[in-house]
Amino acid sequence: MDYFYVEAIKFCNNVNGISHFLVESIKFCNSLKKKIDHHGLSAGKIKRRMVGIPVYKVSNYEERDALLVTDEVTKAVSFYFISKPDALDFFDKIKLLENFIIDWRVFDTPLSNIIDEGGDEGVAVRLVPESSQIKNAIEEKGRETGTPDNIFAGVPVFMSSNLTLHLIETGERFRPAYLRKEDLQERLTAMGVSSSTIKVSSLEETIHEMKDSSTSKSNDILFIGHGGTSYIMGTIYWLHET
């Protein structure tokens, strides 16, 4: 794959949420490409749990991706944004470059697809979380631990132990993990469940647990994208667990 390099740290620092997460060196796709134990969930099953969720990247019609090269990172970085506005913000920054190419656009691609993209040699793939959800995650983490903090590493996912999704056709039950806290709150309110049951984790850690044979704590997770919609095939009932 060909790439367009953004050789300026200032663009990294000016995009919501990027600079901190580069320092944290989040690894998402590469971790999923490692050998998966027989007893953990396969990559195919994990992909099914995130079907229909888009991410956004800056690319052109020839599929040349915009990459960032900075002094803080030894590899060039290919960004996939959870939030389209954040991707558009990044796009606005690179449009200021002298060697900007006119046919660049913000494209969407399924989150499940980038599991297969570990990045070419010398290129790291990174998910960029939505800045408003980082704020929500920090608040929830502080409430859980009783210790205020201003750092959250990863893409936040929000869950409630009182909420279960039942797939009628297969009899499967899932715990929904939302990319937006507000969508989970709306669902809980509709079911008469207190928002105090909300817990926060990271997408990266949850994926790691799903493929880890030593634990089954996240094997029933189903990821829910913006708007609170699940695109898994079948008839869904929402259940209030007590």
At 167-224, the pLDDT tens digits run 888 888 899 999 999 999 999 998 888 888 899 999 988 988 888 766 667 889 999 9
194 or 235, which is more confident = 194
Q: Tell me the three state secondary structure of residue 14.
A: helix
H/E element, 31: helix 29-32
For residues 198 and 110, what is the distance between their CA atoms, to the nearest angstrom? 26
Q: Do 94 and 66 touch, CB atoms closer than 8 A?
A: yes
How many Å apart are CA 157 and CA 71, to the nearest integer? 30
Residue 78: helix, strand or coil by DSSP? strand
Neighbour tally for 57: CB within 10 Å: 22
- Confidence at residue 84, expressed as pLDDT on a 0 to 100 scale: 92
Global pTM? 0.77
Query: pLDDT digits over 121-160, tens only?
Result: 556 678 889 989 999 999 998 888 877 777 888 899 999 9
Q: How far is CA 186 from CA 48, 168, 193, 207, in A?
A: 24, 23, 10, 25
Cβ(66)–Cβ(8) below 8 Å = no
Residue 114 pLDDT: 77
